[in-house]
Structure 1
Amino acid sequence: MTTAPTRLSKQARREQLLDVALAIVRASGADGLTLPTLAEAAGVSRPIVYDHFGTRPGLLLALYQRLDEQHRTAIAQALKQASPTAADIAGTISVAYFACATDLPEFNAVSSALKGNPEMEAIQHELHDGYTDLMADALTPYSPLDQAALRLHCVGALGAAEAIAVELNRGATTAADAITALTGVILGRIERADGRT
């Protein structure tokens, strides 16, 4: 007697489809990811994929959000293990940021594929704000800056992190040097405000 295959819940199916989508981007780049190629690779009918994501940009946006969530979760976990000093918090943020930049190259591929998409712009702002808040919250106990100034400092540090990540991904610097540079950027204004120059 054969048993019928287990039917996945809608959420479990979505996660499975995103896993397959990520594998496609790893193997073929974002250009290789379409709703039909996803349906074929996942072994499901096209209507199932269209039901979950609607359009190719909808699929790419869902994948981008998932990658961002993984990135932020990794940083939050790393921060829980960090020693309670400004230097260790800044170093932990830097290590986790560049680990993600090198371990999740699909992040940049998906982001590039969505350039010019108005919905992507709104989501990027929302995710950037969340990331800035995570960073500011982690640094608050060690910073003499008021919340507005610290948050603005974190915005600047994230801009620097993105620029350094580009250098790292094109092989113009090492991970160790990227981490040192970003840690210095994060600590710079905090230590100056604290009178430690």
Structure 2
Amino acid sequence: MPKTALRKLTKPERRAQLIETSKQILRECGADALTLGHLAERAGVSKPIAYEHFGTREGLLIALSREIESRHTEKLKNGLLEAPAELASVAGIISSVYIGCAVENGSEWQAMSGALRGNAEMDRVQQELADDYVALIGAAVAPFSNLTDDDLRLRCAGIAGAAETIAREFVRGRATAENAAANLAALIVNGIGA
């Protein structure tokens, strides 16, 4: 019986495979085990392929952060499209999507954040992602606020910080997903509606 040849993955398919394998390594072994060599071995590819896609371990962790944030943003945008035009509903969607992403990516997100703390490129990327998130939630809640643009941006930055902290509490087992989402939604309503 002849062997069937495996189809060679396209570059985007290979990158997606490497990202998924990286998440498995983070979940199973932690951030210290996530090296490009270990990734290549687990994915069944040569080291040069892993290096071609990410360049460095930091490049891999940054790519993982961007991928997680991209999925989060897409879910949030889709949820907001269907939101009733009231602050409580918008706040509920923002909070449930944020905590939902923590449910989905909590352990990987914690490991990545810790592994790249103090890395200048990661700090820049995290600030870029945070600014984009603040702008997105600012646009979503602006119709319900009479704050100045500067004050609204600052409140949304505070909400983003609160969301991260509440999600960490959830990941550490100090809150249920429902309780975390409800409290984040309350912070949004009280911070924007005031």
The TM-score normalised by the length of structure 1 is 0.91
In structure 1, the gaps of 5 or more residues are 193-197
Which residue of structure 2 lines up, in the alignment, with residue 40 of structure 1?
41
Moved >6 Å (runs of 4+):
none
In structure 1, what residue type is equivalent to 2:118?
Answer: G
Moved more, 90-99 or 101-110: 101-110
Which residue of structure 2 lines up, in the alignment, with residue 174 of structure 1?
176
Distance 1:190 1:54 in 2: 42
In structure 2, what residue type is equivalent to 1:182?
Answer: L
Distance 2:58 2:15 in 1: 15
Q: How many residue pairs align between the two structures?
A: 192
User: What is the deviation of 1:85?
Assistant: 0.6
Distance 1:173 1:12 in 2: 37
User: CA-atom RMSD, angstroms?
Assistant: 1.5
Which residue of structure 2 lines up, in the alignment, with residue 107 of structure 1?
109
| Contact in 1 for aligned 2:87/2:144 (Cα 8 Å) | yes
The TM-score normalised by the length of structure 2 is 0.92
Which residue of structure 2 lines up, in the alignment, with residue 77 of structure 1?
78
Moved more, 1-10 or 109-118: 1-10
Superposed CA deviations along residues 13-49 of structure 1, whole A, max 9, x for unmatched, are: 1111111111211221222211111111111111111
Superposed CA deviations along residues 81-106 of structure 1, whole A, max 9, x for unmatched, are: 22221110011101111111122121
User: What is the deviation of 1:2?
Assistant: 4.7
User: What is the deviation of 1:9?
Assistant: 2.1
1:1-197 aligned at under 5 Å gives the runs: 2=3, 4-105=5-106, 106-192=108-194
Distance 2:180 2:147 in 1: 25
User: What is the deviation of 1:177?
Assistant: 2.3
DSSP-derived class of the 2:61 partner: helix
User: What is the deviation of 1:122?
Assistant: 0.2
In structure 2, the gaps of 5 or more residues are none
User: What is the deviation of 1:176?
Assistant: 2.4
